[in-house]
Structure 1
Amino acid sequence: MRTWELLSLSFLMLSSSFVHASGALVSSCDKIPSGYSGKVFKIKTDYLAETSNKKRPWEYISFKEEPQKYAYTILKYIYDGNIDCDFDLHCNKVANWYHAPWMHYGINGREFVNGLTRERSFKPGELHNDQKSMLQNWAISIVNEQGSYTYGQVWKDINNPDITKGEFLDGTVNAKLVFTEATEDDIPTLKNSITWTGYINQSEKGTPKVFKQLRLFQIDFLVKDKRSEETGWVAGTFIYDCTINNKNPWFNMKLVGVAWGNDPNYFRADYIIGKRLLECWINPDVMKGSLGYLGRLNGPIDNKKSSCLSCHSTAQYPEKSPSVPSEQSTEGEIKYWFRNLKEESFDEGALNFDYSKQLSHGIRNYYSAKEENDSIGCNDFNYKRYH
């Protein structure tokens, strides 16, 4: 590590205003191709060490009575200062947002251009009958100041994360931007979408990595909102839709829905007779095939046997249960994934991470690397450190 890098790291660790996370030393495990001179992702982890009492623009908007107003207020909050700098968090002069540490690790870890991690792929025929191959989806997640406080408490000791500190503060906002290698031939409404370059797998099988153009397809949010008696959280999903026809493509995001609970008493018999879900609002203009289990809120790239909140409710350490029930699960077993959990673990004997998959995955990655005696988290040492 160069001298200025050591000085920078020492300053951050000694600062009384901020804490610094071990995984923040590595932004990506990718080896940058020779001659590359473009954008390089830098993780931002100067988390707040003190809580903030800032007013939140959505706190007097009812997510049950005015779900659309609530969701678009959150989207504007996420955009503030970020779309002007293409979500380079270091350049945002209006608001502070942060990345989770230890998402660089593993075969799905952050690529080096935009910090995208690999998501579930579209299966052949999932988008339309002419789709013959798997299509990759990659995403980046960010958290606001309130959420960064919890990251900082967990990672205060850079060599010994405190996994008992995983409860988030009211007002925490997590946002995820999902990009796809699908084109407008695959999804006509992707026309003129925001494009990023990703250093992603050449094919579904994995290596080698190549540069590919990706299009913004989906934006998800999770808000810790104490008014949600069911889970303590409110989830929302948007998809890109060029027919909105705004000159600025960032504002061509169509709301899929908002959810504040898992509807734990709603299953197939209710769905068959057309009973209404009670703990979410779904946009009636959205195709039902893109939703989650029995019409619950999900994004098109997400597993259809799940929902936004049910998936995130599995955030814990150790990660005993998968994010979604297996294909062979009975309805009785599936019900386990649709409980309304509020600050409690999905499984007995695990520590709750309060609906944060970024936190649970990061902790899992950290301990996996530790078991491999690889403190950096790039076990083939095919990496470069970025500050």
Structure 2
Amino acid sequence: MRLLGLICLFVTVMFATAASAECSLPTTKDFATQATALFNCPSALPLKGGEGKRKFQVHYDFPKTLPDSSHLPWLAVDPLTDPAGYMHAILEYATKYNGRSDIDWRIEDNKEQHWCNAPWLQDSREPLRGMTTERWSRPKELHEKQVGWAKNWAVGIYNDLACYGLGQIWSDPTFPKTKGFSLPNGALGIKLLFTNATPAQVPFLSNSKEWEVAAGNDGSIITMRMLQVDVSVKDKRSPNGWFFGTFMYDGTKAGKTPYDRLVPVGLMWGSDPDLLASAYYDKAATPKESWVNPEEAQRFYALPRQHLGLFGRANGPVDNPKSACITCHQRAMDWGRAVLANSPEAKQAAMLLPDVPFDPFIDSDAKAYFRNIGAASPVPNTQTLDYSLQVAKGISIFRAWVLLNYPDHAGSTTDIPPYPFARLLMGSQQVPTAGAAFDEFNR
């Protein structure tokens, strides 16, 4: 749903040799020991002034057998005729225990349900809440009183069905198996997005939930407020297999808790590939594969972004107004090899994987991005990761780390054929920057 600059999934990820105290690496340098240590690392980012505060603990609760999905409350609601009811059923399920004050999204404390984190995001997670940086909100994207940039961070978790799928990939921390990957029906991901914008800058943040987050560049602690909650659900009733929904916090609403004041913004099940500029402006076309709450959408009409997603598609207030939820998520895939930032392979990958159109008024560029691909991979001859960008980012970080530190293991730690990038003749030899191909957060 988010994009930073002009890219959705390619980012530089630096692999520091000196990890934080929470991520100290063993002195033994063999591949399996180092890989397992990083797999279990909560955070490799710094923390300043957080002595005595509870730290984020990565939690891998991967069931060995497929959990029962018959109890999931949203399965009793038709998402196409009652999208708001469908979204509320999901939200109530996710917050019932995780939202309690004694748990407060520390999923290792939730003894009633099974939730997990996605592996290999330690270089992105801050050490207090396990949050990762999101696309920042440009001035006046959230409210007319927001005159400066707002920093946004988020944390995502998965329910037991999704965790079962993650366990199929990561049963061996030294060898992710992505061949044939598909999450089961009922898999749920939920992500809480917080901002450092204040109620004075964004009045509807009044009385929102607050967290202390080590979001400063040096690991210093910043107070952030809940702004947006995203949900993604594998549901066979969707033509593309998934529903993506987003809520926003609204302090003007009644409710005992901040979760009661979360209002549905939109639900999306397709990219509306024919909703192009020509159709939108000349024929007054509207989305057919999104539901957008008109009460919340109207907040943004007078702001620079105008719409939540391009031409009225569903997207969240933190998200790129040139993009849309499901369209960005369907880019999740595995090249079967490392794609290092600034490498010839990265340049080819950027051309192969359609990105948010720089100029959305060029119909051909918009049509290349806004596609419906169902269960296919966005690039032929690659492995889809089933709309799961956190999974894709973790895989890409792992592959880059292996290539840079244990190149002899690069070919033996993939169970799919490496994508056959063309060999390019370079005018001068370039050393690629340590990096990874995917970013779940800055999309």
Matched, 1:167 2:185: no
Counterpart pick for 2:114 among 96, 115, 136: 96
Q: Relative CO higher for 1 or 2, CA cutoff 8 Å, sep ≥ 6?
A: 2
Counterpart pick for 2:249 among 230, 240, 254: 240
Partner of 1:71: 87
Shift of 1:140: 0.5
- For structure 1, the 5+ residue unaligned runs are 6-19, 202-206, 380-387
Shift of 1:128: 4.2
Matched, 1:81 2:81: no
Task: Give per-residue Cα distances to partners, 1:130-175, cap 9 Å, x unaligned.
Answer: 5443221000011111111111111112111112143110000011
Residue 169 of structure 1 aligns to a residue whose secondary structure is coil
Partner of 1:301: 318
Runs of 4+ in 1 over 6 A off after TM superposition: none
Partner of 2:152: 137
Residue 139 of structure 1 aligns to a residue whose secondary structure is strand
Question: For 1:266-277, what aligned pairs fall within 5 Å after superposition?
Answer: 266-272=275-281, 273-277=283-287
Paired with 1:61 and 1:35, the residues of 2 have a C-alpha distance of 44
Residue 274 of structure 1 aligns to a residue whose secondary structure is coil
Paired with 2:163 and 2:37, the residues of 1 have a C-alpha distance of 15
Shift of 1:374: 7.8
Matched letter for residue 285 of structure 1 = E
Partner of 2:378: 346
Paired with 1:351 and 1:24, the residues of 2 have a C-alpha distance of 22
Paired with 2:182 and 2:292, the residues of 1 have a C-alpha distance of 28
Residue 175 of structure 1 aligns to a residue whose secondary structure is strand
Distance 1:269 1:359, change over 3 A: same
Counterpart pick for 2:220 among 210, 214, 224: 210
- Indicate the percent of aligned positions where both proteins have the same amino acid: 32
Paired with 1:303 and 1:268, the residues of 2 have a C-alpha distance of 17
Matched, 1:114 2:129: yes
Residue 309 of structure 1 aligns to a residue whose secondary structure is helix
Distance 1:260 1:168, change over 3 A: same
Q: Which has the higher strand share?
A: 1
Partner of 1:8: none
User: Contact between 2:228 and 2:249, CA under 8 Å: does it hold in 1?
Assistant: yes
Question: For 1:311-322, what aligned pairs fall within 5 Å after superposition?
Answer: 311-318=328-335, 320-321=349-350
Shift of 1:264: 1.7
Task: Give per-residue Cα distances to partners, 1:51-96, cap 9 Å, x unaligned.
Answer: 0123221112110011111110011011121001110001112211
Distance 1:58 1:268, change over 3 A: same
Partner of 2:263: 254
Partner of 2:46: 31
Paired with 1:35 and 1:341, the residues of 2 have a C-alpha distance of 45
Task: Give per-residue Cα distances to partners, 1:9-47, cap 9 Å, x unaligned.
Answer: xxxxxxxxxxx9765410100234467001100011121
Shift of 1:270: 2.4
Paired with 1:197 and 1:69, the residues of 2 have a C-alpha distance of 32
Partner of 1:183: 198
Paired with 1:254 and 1:374, the residues of 2 have a C-alpha distance of 48
Paired with 1:185 and 1:100, the residues of 2 have a C-alpha distance of 35
User: Contact between 2:310 and 2:322, CA under 8 Å: does it hold in 1?
Assistant: yes
Paired with 1:196 and 1:35, the residues of 2 have a C-alpha distance of 13
Residue 76 of structure 1 aligns to a residue whose secondary structure is helix
Residue 217 of structure 1 aligns to a residue whose secondary structure is strand
Matched letter for residue 363 of structure 1 = I
Aligned length: 352
Partner of 1:15: none
Matched letter for residue 238 of structure 1 = F
User: Contact between 2:356 and 2:366, CA under 8 Å: does it hold in 1?
Assistant: yes
Matched, 1:327 2:358: yes
User: Contact between 2:98 and 2:106, CA under 8 Å: does it hold in 1?
Assistant: yes
- For structure 2, the 5+ residue unaligned runs are 1-23, 25-34, 340-348, 408-433, 435-443
TM-score, length-scaled by structure 2: 0.75
Matched letter for residue 243 of structure 1 = T
Distance 1:31 1:284, change over 3 A: closer
Task: Give per-residue Cα distances to partners, 1:319-355, cap 9 Å, x unaligned.
Answer: 8346842424632122122111111111123210110
Residue 190 of structure 2 aligns to a residue whose secondary structure is strand
CA RMSD, 1 decimal: 2.5
